[in-house]
A and B are shown apart, each in its own frame.
Chain A
């Protein structure tokens, strides 16, 4: 679903030299699998997500998303790539000038879904994250965990083949974190490639899945946790 082939990203700022945020990273995330991406802050997690989301371009190497070579995607093609990726943000990225329903409906409106379908899909997504009863509320009136779940509903509402999450359990207590993790595992079970960037080691320990570790821009470990749980 995602394939990186010797991807590097170097930031150069005038007068301050340059910094390698990613060095020769190669990896493959297949469909239907949940993967953790970890590493200290500054290890390159955010850079990796930015490259996949086409917020930035790699300095070298190739990235494929859902069969699309990103190097060949021009500026006008970026939205179409992003529509294949559901992204859950650490700070939720919700809009507080509209209802929960309208927040979740946004990707569908943008992608031009027929209006009749939108209602059905939005309610299905809200039902999935357990917020169906709150569709008319403003997200500001909801708790952090609920806001996170709105973000998840929005990320999956158009059923993208790929789901990225950046510190999805950042400020949540263990119980809420567990609920959210269960959601991600459900999506992986129906065939979505899920990648969760986190430095919450206890979370990783509780859910044995594939674990990618970045350090100073290099992929230093790629291991499969087998055993209980999954």
Chain B
């Protein structure tokens, strides 16, 4: 049934793409295409923003949901950072108070302190003789009258040991080594509660990590759903674009920008929310720290984090949009009639 009865007329339609007879023209065609690609990115980004602005209430709602989901872990992280900053200095004071037995002579005490000083696992060892201990106690405790009444100095000599390694394991090891020595009565670790606090902060950090992961997922799902609706609303447009030869990338681009803008806006609002909360908490906090004779003031979210959070949120939005688009765009296939 194929038919070639009529002679073919010379074909003279202009080709779909510009003619490229030579290398120079080809290069400029590539440049044209690159320019077109860049322009489409710009237009898609702008168009996505414009569409969000056209529906301010819906946009604000989505952005707020994202912002709250992000502000929660970000805020708790800032609080934890503050807790860590407050307790960081306490860690440096980690030391063992090693009380010596009463029968160790003054000379042996000094020799012992010197020997420990040269140990690798000890940074510094300071001998506090019985007299020095008494003087210090007298000064700090205000019990000088009572002490005067005592016939004899009741305090033992002690060596303050500042370990080279303040990690809990190393501290415990050093403590048991020193306790085992014959001259030592007891070796007391003074920083247990600091360690417990650190352990708690670390645990809280892990929990925030898990929370962050869950809420990041929630942000992505919010974007997935928003983009899914956008795809549904623009079904006709997608069909027409596909029919006139739009690539998947061309169809996808405005939606990806929409997701990115949602994430970015949510991230920025989240930073604002955290900062406002810190301001709100700030003045009672100052009052509290002044009662503890501390000059500590709250660390804010920080400039770099204020940049990182929105960027991260933007990427989350982009990923959500990508998921929605790759999941739902194939559902929209052109049909004639």
* Size class of the A contact interface (CB-based, 8 Å): 35 or more
Q: A32 and B9 in contact (CB under 8 A), knowing A79-B247, A83-B16? A: yes
* Size class of the B contact interface (CB-based, 8 Å): 35 or more
* Interface: B35 (CB within 8 A): yes
* Interface: A159 (CB within 8 A): yes
Q: Which residues of A sit under 8 angstroms from B39, Cβ to Cβ?
A: 115
CB within 8 Å of A: which B30-60 residues: 32-33, 35-37, 39-40
Q: Which of B2, B12, B246, B247 contacts A191 (CB 8 A)?
A: B12
1/0 per residue B298-337: CB within 8 Å of A? 0000000000000000000000000000000000011111
Q: Are the CB atoms of B9 and A76 closer together than 8 Å? A: no
Q: Which residues of B sit under 8 angstroms from A83, Cβ to Cβ?
A: 16, 244-245
Q: Which of A27, A55, A93, A112 contacts B36 (CB 8 A)?
A: A112
B249 to nearest A CB, angstroms?
Answer: 9
Q: Nearest chain-A residue to B9 (Cβ)?
A: A32
Q: Are the CB atoms of A53 and B243 closer together than 8 Å? A: yes
1/0 per residue A75-104: CB within 8 Å of B? 010011111100101110111010000000
Q: Nearest chain-A residue to B31 (Cβ)?
A: A114
B14 to nearest A CB, angstroms?
Answer: 4
- The majority secondary structure among interface residues of chain B is loop
Tell which of B163-171, B199-207, B234-242 binds the partner. B234-242
Q: Nearest chain-A residue to B2 (Cβ)?
A: A28
CB within 8 Å of A: which B154-208 residues: none
* Interface: A46 (CB within 8 A): yes
CB within 8 Å of A: which B237-278 residues: 237, 239-248, 250
Q: Which of B8, B11, B35 neighbours the largest number of chain A CB atoms within 10 Å of its CB?
A: B11
* Interface: B142 (CB within 8 A): no
Q: Which residues of B sit under 8 angstroms from A84, Cβ to Cβ?
A: 16
Q: Are the CB atoms of A80 and B245 closer together than 8 Å? A: yes
Interface residues of B (CB under 8 A from A): 1-6, 8-17, 32-33, 35-37, 39-40, 236-237, 239-248, 250, 333-337
Interface residues of A (CB under 8 A from B): 1, 3, 5, 25-28, 30-33, 46, 49-50, 53, 55, 76, 79-84, 87, 89-91, 93-95, 97, 106-107, 109-115, 154, 158-161, 166, 190-192, 219, 222, 224
Sample of 17 A–B contacts (CB below 8 Å):
A28-B3, A28-B4, A30-B6, A31-B8, A53-B336, A79-B242, A80-B245, A87-B243, A93-B236, A110-B247, A112-B33, A114-B35, A154-B244, A159-B13, A160-B16, A161-B15, A190-B13
